[in-house]
Amino acid sequence: MIIKYKRIIGRISLLALIITCSFSCETDLYETYSEYSDGNVVSVGSPDSLSVDSGLDKLMFKVFINADPKLKKGVISWNLGANEKTFNIDRTIYQNEIIDVEVEPGEGSYEFAVHLEDANGNKSNTLTLFTEVLGETYRADLVNRSLSGSTLSSETEVTLTWESNRYIDSKMVEQVTNDLLVKTELTYISEADGLEKTVVIDESEDTLVISDFIPEGSFNYKTFYKPTVDSVYIFESNPTEGTFPAKI
> What pLDDT does 156 receive?
87
137-161 per-position pLDDT tens digit: 999 999 999 999 999 988 889 999 9
Mean pLDDT (whole number) for 10-24: 42
pLDDT band at 3 (very low <50, low <70, confident <90, very high): very low
Encoded amino acid at 219, one letter: F
Alpha carbons 52 and 46: distance in angstroms, whole number: 17
- How buried is 89 (Cβ within 10 angstroms: 0-12 exposed, 13-18 middle, 19+ buried)? middle
Mean pLDDT, the chain, whole residue set: 86
Helices (H), the chain: 2-35, 136-140
Please give the class, per CATH, of domain 43-135.
Answer: mainly beta
CATH number of the structural domain 142-243: 2.60.40.10
For residue 113, count other CB atoms closer than 10 A to its CB. 15
pLDDT band at 233 (very low <50, low <70, confident <90, very high): very high
> What pLDDT does 174 receive?
96
| DSSP 8-state assignment for residue 232 | S
Question: Collapsing DSSP states into helix, strand and coil, what is residue 3?
Answer: helix
> What pLDDT does 42 receive?
59
For residue 71, count other CB atoms closer than 10 A to its CB. 24
The residues spanned by each domain of the chain are: 43-135, 142-243
> What pLDDT does 248 receive?
72
| DSSP 8-state assignment for residue 156 | S
Question: Collapsing DSSP states into helix, strand and coil, what is residue 229?
Answer: coil
pTM given for the model: 0.79
29-64 per-position pLDDT tens digit: 444 444 444 444 558 889 999 999 999 999 999 999
Q: Is the pLDDT of residue 97 over 70?
A: yes
- How buried is 97 (Cβ within 10 angstroms: 0-12 exposed, 13-18 middle, 19+ buried)? middle
Say yes or no: do domains 43-135 and 142-243 share a fold. yes
193-211 per-position pLDDT tens digit: 999 999 999 999 999 999 9
Mean pLDDT (whole number) for 116-139: 96
Return the bridge partners of 168, or none. 174
Query: Percentage of the chain with pLDDT > 90?
Result: 75
Instruction: Give residue 196's Cα distance to chain centre.
Output: 32
Mean pLDDT (whole number) for 115-127: 95
> What pLDDT does 154 receive?
83
Instruction: Return the minimum-mean-pLDDT range out of 12-16, 48-52, 65-69.
Output: 12-16
Alpha carbons 134 and 59: distance in angstroms, whole number: 9
Residue 193 · residue 248 · CB < 8 Å: no
